[in-house]
Structure 1
Amino acid sequence: MAGDLIQIAPPNRRTFLKTLGAAGAAASVTACAVRPPERILPLLAPDPRAIPGKPQMFASTCRECPAGCGMVVRVNTGRPSKCEGNPDHPVNRGKLCLRGQTAVEGLYNPDRFRQPMLRDAHGQLRPTDWPTALARFDAELAKVQAEGRGGDIVWLGQLESGTLDGIIRGWLKRQGALGPLYYEYLCPDALRAAMAISYGKPVIPRYHLERARCLVSFGAEFLETWLSNVEFAGDFAAMHSFGHTPTPAHFTAVGPRLSLTAANADQWWPAQPGSEPILAWALAGEVARRLGKPLQGPQVSLPAAAHQSRVDAGLIAEAALRLVDAHPSLVLGTGYQTDNRGAVSTWLAVNALNDLLGNTGTTVIPDEPHALTLCATQKQVLDVFAPGNRTRLLLLHHANPAFHHPVILSGLYQVPFKVSFASWRDETTKFADLVLPDHHFLEAWGDYAPRGDVAGMIQPQRIPLYETRQTGDVLLGGEGKTHAAIEAAWAGKPGALTWDARLRKGVSEPAAAAVSYQPSAIRHPPAGAELAARTEFDGTGEFYLVVFPSVQFYDGRQANRQWAQEIAEPMSKIAWDPWCELHPKTAARLGFKPNDVVRIVSPHGAANFSLYVTTWIREDCVGVMLGQGHTDFGMFANGAGESPHPLQGADSTDGVWAPQTVKVTLEHTGRTRALANLQPERNQFDKNIALAVTVAEAESAAARETVGPDSFYHFHHPYLNHRWGMTIDLSSCIGCNACQAACYAENNIAVWGRSGCQSHREMTWIRVEQYEGEQAHPATEINPDIRFIPMPCMQCGNAPCEYVCPVFAAYHTDEGLNGQAYNRCVGTRYCSNNCIYKVRRFNWFTPQWSEPLNQQLNPLVTVRAKGVMEKCTFCVQRIQLVELDARTNHTAIRDGDIQTACQQTCPTNAIVFGDLLDPASRVSQLTALNRSYGMFAEENTYPAVHYQKKTKFVLNAPGGQKPYGDGPS
């Protein structure tokens, strides 16, 4: 009967066992089901040169910015996992910056386009196949030609100076269009305009910092984003670091905010925004007076310059004297944060100064222009989207002008058809009607010439991850045609190297194409009062808006990279967040507190930022970092605060882009948003962490630290063959964070995001700390005395961590390393508590990598699990590879054969690694220097990492200076 319950007898023992057996058999059958095939080696055919388990190295050229550094890419069984600098490349000489290290994250970016995209009838971008996409592209081209509007085709793309440049120009010519507009947001338009006035050629010269005996910069961020930061970092170390030269040159930086470049200066002049041209012409006048030469240009007295710039006249006179006494010297003009309406005039004064000082031909070489000379001006780019523009077909190639110039959006809508060759979605590509996704440069053939005498090769490091095609092949109408064009082009280059040899070397040095230039033909601007007219600012607000570039994100293109977000910005030590900066006196006067959300209002727009309070900005300025605030750029970039670009407007006076032209007001929002500040405190509290000495002290015993009495940690480790050690020169370290990015890439370090950084659970194995002077010698406004100090594991001989581990997971190796047995660790964290250097990291969660980022992992390094402690290992996997090769080939390990990841990438060669038991090794010789010290050596931990104290000049008062240090004076 319906609804009656059926009574089931309880199973007996025999029935239960029969049922259990059937279930087990079913589970076994399920477990034996055929799984989808999983590719272990992503190779079309095995490489006969490949040795399983041993990485291969292939040359390439970095395209993360226009500098064009040479690369060597480490490939593990067909997967690129790490980028290094190419030692044969004359630009970067084997080094890479943070952005170059993140290139593999771009290759494996989860937000890359998987296939072509076509906008449907409902206005949505939908995936399509290549035949359909190319047919639509050809149909649109045919329509444009039928309308007789081939001249209205516009190419707007990233800078190309190699074979692809010729392919693009040839294709545009066949369509009846003008040449390409190469778009680089940070291209120095003011410099080119000034060179056109001074020398008749709108070129970007080559600057030799390493030759200068005195340097003055009016804002050029040459250690961050200006022209070629890795090249300049090495040159700066050769000029300024006591570790590279016994007579360091003096460096003066000018700017309203202390940038990373200015933090490495001996003097910082916090000049009022807009006063840079007045200051530069006053300096030129004083130099001309001391040299007894006439100055053709505006005549500005020192008192007038001091009044308008708020820089002491005595400092200007001293700088002029240093420039006159130094042979040769170098003066640089504006960078992005000082590019206001007076920037061209500043550069004219700089050109006059270098001409007066005889620097042309030694430290300034206009005959070797940088590739950025080929870029379009910002005004040319803005004109493409101006009201009433005639653009019929817009071709976008790795360019994102809508992010930098929100004012172009209405003009972008007006373009009838837009094609993007982007690799991933961005604020401009989202408006495209057709997306023909390009290979990442690590999957493509190409070349790039950063200047006329250097060309770098680009070759595929792996098969393409997705259904993408090389842009050159699309334009040439066939797969592989770009490769053939490049091979033909390189066959005609000077030199006897074969094609295979060129691929291995990765760089060619052809004869430079001479630029018509006469040093004696400099044309000075007429004297006049045009200075005042060009330093006007928009708006009636109280504060100057200072937007400064980012060493991590460049112009914003690296914002969707985990490492760039997780590694703290060098000056603020803030990760993942954009922020605004105010001076403490200004914040107190306005009633703002740290982490308050401040609303910045300009004549062009408004934006909200959390507040960071710092003394390293003028009281009448508010600073905001460039590069964050994306709305449609990927999972790691979207939602990271707001962008400063809507505040800036689109001023291009006289055809020169001037981003720093706004005065703003600040408003309370009543909200707070805590910033992820990874180092809130910069005071050393007399703990002698980052020390400095004078040159005289560095040459005497006074610079040597004393070791305290014996501790209860007994030094009892015998080292039979090696004791690996490291030295770090604080005079050379510029705080660029390249070492941190290299460590992330090499050692499979997990990224925990904004919330993890706020909880101080970041996992970096080497952190770059920043300290401000010492108690006895505090930093001043004129002398910031910023000291950067990398902090890896010290690999102590008497390691406090080893004594407290209850399961012996922390142990000492016979080569002096503090080992960590991951499978033995139970996560008590006693070792972290007992580490006086605080360099151990605990995995609070199981690390996760969004696919395909997991393909970047180094197979030679264990991926740590939840509950495990980890730390710097001195790249033990690299040590073992070299030791294995030495045993196999019956050879000795030479000094320098082993390089840690941080050492290999350091642009200034601040880090040296080697065997402390070898008295002839470089690390032993540096450790024996008088200015060498072990951090907290009084605790008798016997660290294997030694630091060389920083040597620098310090200003005591206007009108006088003397060298100083933390040692006896």
Structure 2
Amino acid sequence: MPDLSRRTFLRFAAASVAGAACSPRALPQKLIPFLVPPDEIVPGRPLFYRTVCRACPAGCGVTARTREGRAVKLEGNPEDPIGRGALCARGQAELQHLYAPDRLAGPRRRGADGQLAPVGWDEAEDALAAALSAAAAKGPGRIRMLTRAEPGSAGAVQKALLRALGGRDEDRLVFEPLDPMPLRAAEEALFGAPQLPVHDLSAARTVVAFGADFLETWLSPVELTRQLAEGRGRAGPERTRLWWVGPRLSATGMSADRWLRARSGGELALALALLRWLFEPGHLAALPPELAPLAGRVAALDAAALLRRAGLAREDLEALGRELAARRPSALLGPGAASQGGDATQLAAVLLLCNLALGNLGRTVLHGLDPLEDPPAPFAEVNGLLGECAAGAVDVLLLHHADPVGALPAALRAGDALARVPLVVTFASRPDASGARAHLHLPDHHPLEAFGEITPRRGVVALGQPAMTPVGDTRAAAQVLLELGGRLPQPAAHFPFGDLWELLQARAELFLRPVAAGATDLGPVLHAAQERGGVYSEASPAPVTLDAAAAARFLTAPAEPPAAAAAGAGALDLVLFPTALRGDGQGPRPPWLDEVSDTVTTLSWTAWAELSPATAARLGLAAGDLVAVSTGAGRAELPVYLYPGLRDDAVAVPLGGAEALALLPAGVDAASGALAFAGQRAAVARAGRRVALPVLEGSPYQEGRAIVKNVSAAAPAVKRPDLSATMYEEPKHPVHRWALAVDLDKCTGCDACVVACYAENNVPVMGREAAVMGRQMGWIRIERYLGEVRGGRLRIDLMPMMCQQCTNAPCEPVCPVYATYHTPEGLNAQVYNRCVGTRYCSNNCPYKVRTFNWRDAQFARPLDWQLNPDVTVRSKGVMEKCTFCVQRIRYAEGVAKDEGRPVRDGEITPACAQTCPAQAIVFGDANDPTSRVSRLAAAPRGFAALEEVNTLPAVTYLARVREEDL
């Protein structure tokens, strides 16, 4: 008998004692948890799992950090070719979906009294199987499914079950409200396949976004943000420039070097005028020969009329055309939701033709990488499904992570349509608007609790795996469908897999065999792929061939905008726009996304109506006034926010809430069937009341203080004050001087760093009332400063602001109990159990980066499971602030000490730097002259915030580069 370790002996001994009372199957999982922990779990040391984010269709890879069996932090997977180790704000907030207090703990069934009551899984599945069998007996079309995109095993199970029930392919619809379906339709018309192109913005010298908010919600924001930042990292004329076209300066537009203030719906007119300009002799050296048949149609376009429709001048077109002709390759992107009107497919097609004329196809706009698996259904088909439901033609409706009531225009009355279906089944894990009409709730696992895989791109298979045991009595939706298959009559519904893991192993043959290098046993190969987070192989872009006859149909002038009388005298263009925090409106948002302020407005916890200062003055309105915004579809009351980044003839309302849906008619882009968000007119009238806005900003202007520095090609260096004269000896940092560098030319204000800080440091959510009083607790904020509007241009400066870890820290000498002090490594430490809350430190801080706990933090169960055990939860009456994630510093120092070596540069990464898609934040040791942070601190663009105060911060900002010559 081989020798047994002490741990193995104790495990066997404990099992023998409990064997009489416990089922053998349950022994490994439920026998006195962690008294004899698994070998890979060491108390106090994190364990990491690679999985995939499902917060949006992009499919970024995720690394889940767990402690003692529970997930406490999500970060990007550095091996994932899409996210490359970064994660957006919504991806960070997925942790709160996992631990949401309102998450359904198990299956529920609605009784005759209309109330939901718990039911066992077997009973629920039996009832559903019986209903499915009865509906299938009536013929095809009686069972319908509405689901999110599932390009993987879950989608395969859904299709298999519907086929087993005699269903048709069209009985299952994929519902993605913000999917760029007009771009798919344009690609199919021009190039023969309804694919989405993949972009390489890092190779582009100029990027022009026609309402495509690619830094927020369009296509793959994390990937596109990284690519733009890579281009911004190039110096001189090779630096990537960004142009924004649209009536409103969005968060993506704030990063632009030039804003063309096109009228709402004028993006198409400008695109047509630009195509005509490119075709004019002498502007391009040569046009691709496949465009030659279009020359006559393009020449017939009236550029002057198009520019009038766009609300722009000839000089704007000339400047854009010269920019694109001289700076190649480039990339023209669009449409986005804000520019998705009734002519969105035409806009997408014209932009593709411009990209073709400029030689961008195959260089910055890549084809052949879309797996074309599980594409979303057009809005027109979803609307047709609602019509069938309302007509009583559907007996069973399955909703899988789809919330049509919460994401479709209120004019469609989706809730009434669902009320006509005898059995509505939802797999949502949290209550949503559609779930309120459902008869059976079968809550799905969170992605951190389940196996699965998706194919977001050709050559990329992202693998999901459980990072922890399920929080409640939930069950993977695909597993439920597999079990339903076993309950249906045989052999039509034969499902050979016992569970989802067996299915994943069987499907692994499809994507592992090409990379298995001839291995006969794929088990180890699959295990290695799960440790990596997926199967990543090279996929080459494919060339496309233009259908000139189809392209000619798109070369017509756009229709004139609707008359003002459609919404009453003085009506304004209605601009509906998505944001990174609000998403598409499906299901409840995590508290972090409500608490963190919108970058553009600094508002939280509310929707709003934006008006330009001139329009508000004309209407006699001020910030905080409630107004009634009315369209032909409905009416919504919203508080006013004054924003100079909006045309005077427009009113803007964010998507992701009931207010925008109340205003949105059920219009479509006829060519693609997509929902038309743009092209409506709205009347704005005073509602007679005022509300206090939960706004983070103090003054939105720098008042001439030049807090945020800018440089240009003519003056590439920041002029810094001479601070060499000192009265007292400065503190010494003999070993390390931890420091941070923030490149403002790369920062996009995406708020990922803010949400990551909430997650890493147990920052409490205080709610709307506290936000109105300015009592948000965030340790980092995105400061946004507005400039003057000159010549149609608005300069907006962004600055992430956290504790500056000053060498001459004003906060330290005023603390009467020495709760804050300077460490030998340069950190301004905070001793929470010593602090008595005098707030002297906050009063003396010029950066106002300390927050005060006005009340004890509330973490309703199981939300308290998200808490990082390495960070203290602060109590009422205590000051708190950023510490550069000192827990990560100490952990890395301990590892280096155990290994007998110094800490390596880049080994320590605070949460804010780790998640940044733009890689705009760099952390390191300023004592090491070879470290990245030291080199950035010495760069010509480097400066410190409020440098003249002589606090000697450890945070260096790199000035924003302004292309004033544009």
TM-score by length of 1: 0.89
Q: Which of residues 675, 678, 699 in structure 2 aligns to 1:657?
A: 675
Aligned equivalents of 1:787, 1:41: Cα separation in 2: 56
In structure 2, what is the equivalent of residue 9 of structure 1?
none
Contact 2:403 2:433 in 1 (8 A): yes
Aligned equivalents of 1:450, 1:45: Cα separation in 2: 40
Q: Does 2:578 align with 1:549?
A: yes
In structure 2, what is the equivalent of residue 203 of structure 1?
195
Pairing of 1:856-895 with structure 2 (within 5 A): 856-895=866-905
Q: Does 2:766 align with 1:752?
A: yes
In structure 1, what is the equivalent of residue 532 of structure 2?
505
Aligned equivalents of 2:736, 2:528: Cα separation in 1: 36
Aligned equivalents of 1:743, 1:719: Cα separation in 2: 26
Q: Does 2:723 align with 1:723?
A: no
Q: Does 2:390 align with 1:390?
A: no
Instruction: Read off the aligned partner of 1:379 and give its amino acid letter.
Output: A
Name the SS for the 1:802 alignment partner: coil
CA distance 1:371–1:425, shift in 2 (3 Å)? farther
Q: Which range moves more in the overlay, 387-396 or 861-870? A: 387-396
Per-residue deviation at 1:44?
Answer: 11
In structure 1, what is the equivalent of residue 515 of structure 2?
495
Contact 1:80 1:461 in 2 (8 A): yes
Instruction: Read off the aligned partner of 1:56 and give its amino acid letter.
Output: L
In structure 2, what is the equivalent of residue 566 of structure 1?
595
Q: Which of residues 626, 633, 646 in structure 1 aligns to 2:655?
A: 626
CA distance 1:782–1:453, shift in 2 (3 Å)? farther
Aligned equivalents of 1:821, 1:644: Cα separation in 2: 46
Instruction: Read off the aligned partner of 2:646 and give its amino acid letter.
Output: I
In structure 2, what is the equivalent of residue 13 of structure 1?
none
Name the SS for the 1:677 alignment partner: coil
Q: Does 2:400 align with 1:400?
A: no
Q: Deviations over 1:375-422 (max 9, x none)?
A: 111111111011536222211001011112231233222222211111
Instruction: Read off the aligned partner of 1:547 and give its amino acid letter.
Output: L
Q: Which of residues 818, 831, 847 in structure 1 aligns to 2:828?
A: 818
In structure 2, what is the equivalent of residue 531 of structure 1?
558
Per-residue deviation at 1:606?
Answer: 0.7
Per-residue deviation at 1:512?
Answer: 4.9
Name the SS for the 2:62 alignment partner: strand
Contact 1:242 1:951 in 2 (8 A): no
In structure 2, what is the equivalent of residue 310 of structure 1?
311
Q: Which of residues 149, 156, 159 in structure 2 aligns to 1:166?
A: 156
CA distance 1:528–1:949, shift in 2 (3 Å)? closer
Contact 2:432 2:587 in 1 (8 A): no
Residues paired across the two proteins, number: 895
Aligned equivalents of 1:98, 1:781: Cα separation in 2: 34
Per-residue deviation at 1:723?
Answer: 0.6
CA distance 1:584–1:480, shift in 2 (3 Å)? farther
CA distance 1:651–1:515, shift in 2 (3 Å)? farther
CA distance 1:653–1:216, shift in 2 (3 Å)? closer
Per-residue deviation at 1:628?
Answer: 2.9
In structure 1, what is the equivalent of residue 342 of structure 2?
341
Aligned equivalents of 1:42, 1:616: Cα separation in 2: 57
Q: Deviations over 1:924-957 (max 9, x none)?
A: 0111111111112222211110111111212xxx
CA distance 1:312–1:136, shift in 2 (3 Å)? same
CA distance 1:533–1:415, shift in 2 (3 Å)? farther
Q: Which range moves more in the overlay, 743-752 or 450-459? A: 450-459
Name the SS for the 1:617 alignment partner: coil
In structure 2, what is the equivalent of residue 850 of structure 1?
860
In structure 1, what is the equivalent of residue 223 of structure 2?
231
Aligned equivalents of 1:573, 1:314: Cα separation in 2: 33
CA distance 1:349–1:951, shift in 2 (3 Å)? same
Q: Does 2:54 align with 1:54?
A: no
Contact 2:781 2:800 in 1 (8 A): yes
CA distance 1:758–1:428, shift in 2 (3 Å)? same
In structure 1, what is the equivalent of residue 147 of structure 2?
157
Instruction: Read off the aligned partner of 2:752 and give its amino acid letter.
Output: A
Per-residue deviation at 1:372?
Answer: 8.1
Q: Which of residues 825, 828, 835 in structure 1 aligns to 2:838?
A: 828
Q: Deviations over 1:256-300 (max 9, x none)?
A: 111111111111112111222111110000011123655454543
In structure 2, what is the equivalent of residue 424 of structure 1?
430
Q: Deviations over 1:691-715 (max 9, x none)?
A: 10013432xxx52412346465x34
Per-residue deviation at 1:862?
Answer: 0.5
Q: Deviations over 1:796-823 (max 9, x none)?
A: 1111111111111111111110011111
Aligned equivalents of 2:683, 2:561: Cα separation in 1: 22
Aligned equivalents of 1:707, 1:192: Cα separation in 2: 57
Q: Deviations over 1:844-879 (max 9, x none)?
A: 111111111100000000011111111100100000
Aligned equivalents of 1:308, 1:532: Cα separation in 2: 9
Aligned equivalents of 2:438, 2:333: Cα separation in 1: 40
Instruction: Read off the aligned partner of 1:364 and give its amino acid letter.
Output: V
In structure 2, what is the equivalent of residue 636 of structure 1?
none
Q: Does 2:923 align with 1:913?
A: yes
In structure 1, what is the equivalent of residue 705 of structure 2?
687
Instruction: Read off the aligned partner of 1:156 and give its amino acid letter.
Output: L
Name the SS for the 1:375 alignment partner: coil
Q: Which range moves more in the overlay, 452-461 or 297-306? A: 297-306
Aligned equivalents of 2:470, 2:229: Cα separation in 1: 39
Instruction: Read off the aligned partner of 1:98 and give its amino acid letter.
Output: A
In structure 2, what is the equivalent of residue 12 of structure 1?
none
Per-residue deviation at 1:907?
Answer: 0.6
Q: Which range moves more in the overlay, 898-907 or 389-398? A: 389-398
Q: Deviations over 1:554-577 (max 9, x none)?
A: 112475311101110010000111
Per-residue deviation at 1:898?
Answer: 0.3
Instruction: Read off the aligned partner of 1:327 and give its amino acid letter.
Output: R
Contact 1:385 1:412 in 2 (8 A): yes
Per-residue deviation at 1:131?
Answer: 1.6
Contact 2:854 2:876 in 1 (8 A): yes
Per-residue deviation at 1:792?
Answer: 0.9
Instruction: Read off the aligned partner of 1:752 and give its amino acid letter.
Output: M
Q: Does 2:696 align with 1:678?
A: yes
CA distance 1:52–1:537, shift in 2 (3 Å)? farther
Aligned equivalents of 2:587, 2:399: Cα separation in 1: 18
Contact 1:420 1:437 in 2 (8 A): yes
Name the SS for the 2:318 alignment partner: helix
Pairing of 1:926-941 with structure 2 (within 5 A): 926-941=936-951
State, as a whole percentage, how many aligned pairs show the same letter.
38
Q: Does 2:247 align with 1:256?
A: yes
Aligned equivalents of 1:952, 1:432: Cα separation in 2: 53
Instruction: Read off the aligned partner of 1:145 and give its amino acid letter.
Output: A
Aligned equivalents of 2:714, 2:85: Cα separation in 1: 32
Aligned equivalents of 2:923, 2:462: Cα separation in 1: 29
CA distance 1:912–1:418, shift in 2 (3 Å)? same
In structure 2, what is the equivalent of residue 433 of structure 1?
439
CA distance 1:511–1:538, shift in 2 (3 Å)? farther
Aligned equivalents of 2:79, 2:769: Cα separation in 1: 41
Per-residue deviation at 1:652?
Answer: 2.0
Contact 2:228 2:240 in 1 (8 A): no
Aligned equivalents of 2:425, 2:35: Cα separation in 1: 31
Let me know the Cα RMSD of the aligned residues: 2.2
Q: Does 2:276 align with 1:266?
A: no
Contact 1:348 1:525 in 2 (8 A): no
TM-score by length of 2: 0.89
CA distance 1:449–1:44, shift in 2 (3 Å)? farther
Contact 1:151 1:175 in 2 (8 A): no
In structure 2, what is the equivalent of residue 18 of structure 1?
none
In structure 1, what is the equivalent of residue 606 of structure 2?
577
Q: Does 2:765 align with 1:765?
A: no
In structure 2, what is the equivalent of residue 72 of structure 1?
63
Per-residue deviation at 1:769?
Answer: 0.4
Q: Deviations over 1:469-500 (max 9, x none)?
A: 11111111189611111122224423236222
Q: Which range moves more in the overlay, 657-666 or 406-415? A: 406-415
Aligned equivalents of 2:44, 2:621: Cα separation in 1: 56
Q: Does 2:469 align with 1:463?
A: yes
Per-residue deviation at 1:165?
Answer: 1.4
Aligned equivalents of 1:907, 1:558: Cα separation in 2: 25
Name the SS for the 1:532 alignment partner: coil
Aligned equivalents of 1:238, 1:87: Cα separation in 2: 16
